[in-house]
């Protein structure tokens, strides 16, 4: 989706503000929404890719206006309702609907280690053949999917070189929408700064992006 | 509560968020969907157990132990696990090494991907629009804002974390630290140096970053 979250290359967003001795959470509610989000993901009703997409679906003005964890509050509420774990009315009232059943938490102190160290799926699956080789020249395809994608706009249509094969990962464009894992190779692709940004960029500099087979074509 | 000026100007946070999250938490507890003890433990872990001190120890070890450094560059998750750091968002980590002619910088232009086990949760600036937008198009400008001036002969490599790989910069060991112990070295290594917006200096004049 060509949303505001896809920020690479935008200009005039202001200076980077560096806070000295920054706390991990700026207020207790930030820590709570962080923990709630992780605990609820343990139900496996949705994936990390789906969470990322839920953030992307926020109205652009809200996305830019809200702080990072405020976005998470909206994301979690939206996911809970969409996947039927709670109703909108329950969120508004802050109380369970009368007669609703009580579940047993998936993520408890006893099981948290297992849940929190659960890996992001990937593999060296030899059955999934890479479509490209290291040192091969490739072009990032000029695609504009309306759903979730991890290919930033600034790289589309640009030519780069495969620097490394990272192995096999789930394809976010389908996985976020429950349309299958579509496992495929992910590569580190090196684009020169001049290819991405033109002649005024430094001739020495480059940007490396991690891109899936489906994002690439031969150049 | 200390807030960033940028947050005040650009991201006004409504005061009702405390109540809203409290209400959501009590609903989820009431429905048996979350366990309060587990939530407390999660917050405690992120506030006290993971963070850039972990990464600093990894860097210091790599500086004093060539074999460890080679393992770290070859297979970062395994080498980092040797020091006891394993947790979510660290299954696929890559260490990129700075040198006299190469400087690496890490960003996530699409969201906030960051190597939690070694650096903890990212600071606000890393997740903010100014950094995410500019790191790829003007990395030298970003570095300058952080006080890191690079000469033209240095190659800048920007790593945009668009997949599930998480990047950590192995900074250059500063001159004048030859006699330091591993612990003293670790104390010099900052989060910013491991993201690549700063260099490690000696003595630690950049303390606090």
How many Cα atoms occupy the beta-carbon half-sphere of A169 within 13 Å? 24
How many Cα atoms occupy the beta-carbon half-sphere of A35 within 13 Å? 32
Mean pLDDT of B190-201: 97
Residues 12-41 in A contacting B (C-alpha not used; CB under 8 Å): 13-22, 24-29, 31-36, 38-40
Which among B1, B17, B150 is the top mutation candidate for probing chain A, defined by the most A β-carbons within 10 Å of its own β-carbon?
B17
Burial A115-143 (b: 16+ CB within 10 A, else e): bbeeebebeeeeebebbbeeebebbbeee
Can you give the pLDDT at residue B91? 78
Query: Whole-angstrom Cα distance, residue A77 to residue A63?
Result: 15
Asked casually if ipTM beats, i.e. exceeds, 0.85, the reply is: yes
Which among A205, A206, A215 is the top mutation candidate for probing chain B, defined by the most B β-carbons within 10 Å of its own β-carbon?
A205
**What pLDDT digit, counting tens, does each position of B87-97 carry?**
666 678 999 99
Note whether B25 contacts A96, CB cutoff 8 Å: no
Across the A/B interface, how many CB contacts are shorter than 8 Å? 281
Please tell me if residue B112 touches chain A, with a CB cutoff of 8 Å. Answer: yes
Contact (CB, 8 A) for A53 and A149 = no
Query: Whole-angstrom Cα distance, residue B166 to residue B180?
Result: 29
Position A117 pLDDT exceeds 70: no
Note whether B18 contacts A120, CB cutoff 8 Å: no
Please tell me if residue B141 touches chain A, with a CB cutoff of 8 Å. Answer: no
**What pLDDT digit, counting tens, does each position of B53-112 carry?**
999 999 999 999 999 999 999 999 999 999 988 766 667 899 999 999 999 999 999 999
Note whether B42 contacts A91, CB cutoff 8 Å: no
Note whether B41 contacts A76, CB cutoff 8 Å: no
Can you give the pLDDT at residue B2? 42
Can you give the pLDDT at residue A132? 98
**What pLDDT digit, counting tens, does each position of B137-156 carry?**
999 999 999 999 999 999 99
Position B12 pLDDT exceeds 90: no
Q: pLDDT tier at A125 (50, 70, 90 boundaries)?
A: confident
Note whether B37 contacts A65, CB cutoff 8 Å: no
Output the average pLDDT for chain B: 90
* Secondary structure of residue B183 in the 3-state scheme: helix
Can you give the pLDDT at residue B85? 87
| Predicted TM-score of the model (pTM) | 0.93
Query: Whole-angstrom Cα distance, residue B181 to residue B193?
Result: 19
């Amino acid at each position: 989706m060509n949303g505001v979250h896809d920020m690479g290359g935008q200009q005039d967003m202001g200076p980077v503000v560096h806070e000295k001795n920054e706390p991990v959470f700026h207020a207790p509610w930030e820590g709570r929404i962080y923990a709630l989000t992780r605990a609820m993901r343990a139900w496996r009703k949705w994936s990390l890719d789906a969470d990322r997409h839920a953030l992307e679906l926020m109205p652009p003005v809200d996305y830019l206006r809200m702080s990072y964890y405020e976005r998470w509050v909206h994301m979690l509420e939206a996911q809970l309702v969409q996947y039927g774990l709670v109703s909108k009315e329950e969120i508004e009232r802050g109380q369970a609907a009368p007669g609703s059943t009580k579940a047993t938490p998936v993520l408890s102190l006893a099981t948290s280690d297992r849940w929190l160290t659960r890996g992001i799926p990937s593999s060296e699956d030899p059955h999934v053949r890479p479509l490209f080789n290291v040192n091969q020249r490739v072009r990032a395809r000029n695609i504009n999917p309306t759903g979730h994608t991890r290919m930033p706009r600034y790289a589309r249509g640009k030519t780069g070189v495969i620097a490394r094969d990272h192995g096999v990962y789930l394809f976010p464009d389908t996985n976020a929408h429950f349309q299958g894992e579509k496992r495929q190779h992910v590569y580190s692709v090196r684009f020169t700064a001049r290819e991405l940004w033109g002649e005024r960029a430094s001739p020495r500099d480059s940007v490396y992006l991690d891109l899936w087979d489906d994002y690439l074509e031969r150049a | 509560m200390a807030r960033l000026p940028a947050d005040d100007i650009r991201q006004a946070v409504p005061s009702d968020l405390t109540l809203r999250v409290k209400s959501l938490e009590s609903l989820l507890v009431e429905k048996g969907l979350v366990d309060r003890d587990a939530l407390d433990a999660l917050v405690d872990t992120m506030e006290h157990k993971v963070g850039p001190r972990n990464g600093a120890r990894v860097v210091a070890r790599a500086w004093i132990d060539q074999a460890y450094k080679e393992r770290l560059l070859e297979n970062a998750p395994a080498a980092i696990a040797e020091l006891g750091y394993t947790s979510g968002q660290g299954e696929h980590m890559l260490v990129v090494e700075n040198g006299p002619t190469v400087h690496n910088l890490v960003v996530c232009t699409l969201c906030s991907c960051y190597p939690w086990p070694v650096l903890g949760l990212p600071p606000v600036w890393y997740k903010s629009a100014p950094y995410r937008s500019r790191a790829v198009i003007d990395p030298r400008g970003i570095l300058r804002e952080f006080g890191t001036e690079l000469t033209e002969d240095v190659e800048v490599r920007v790593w945009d974390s668009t997949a599930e790989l998480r990047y950590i910069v192995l900074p250059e060991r500063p001159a004048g630290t030859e006699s330091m112990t591993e612990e003293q070295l670790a104390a010099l290594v900052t989060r910013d140096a491991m993201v690549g917006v700063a260099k490690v200096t000696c003595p630690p004049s950049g303390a606090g970053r």
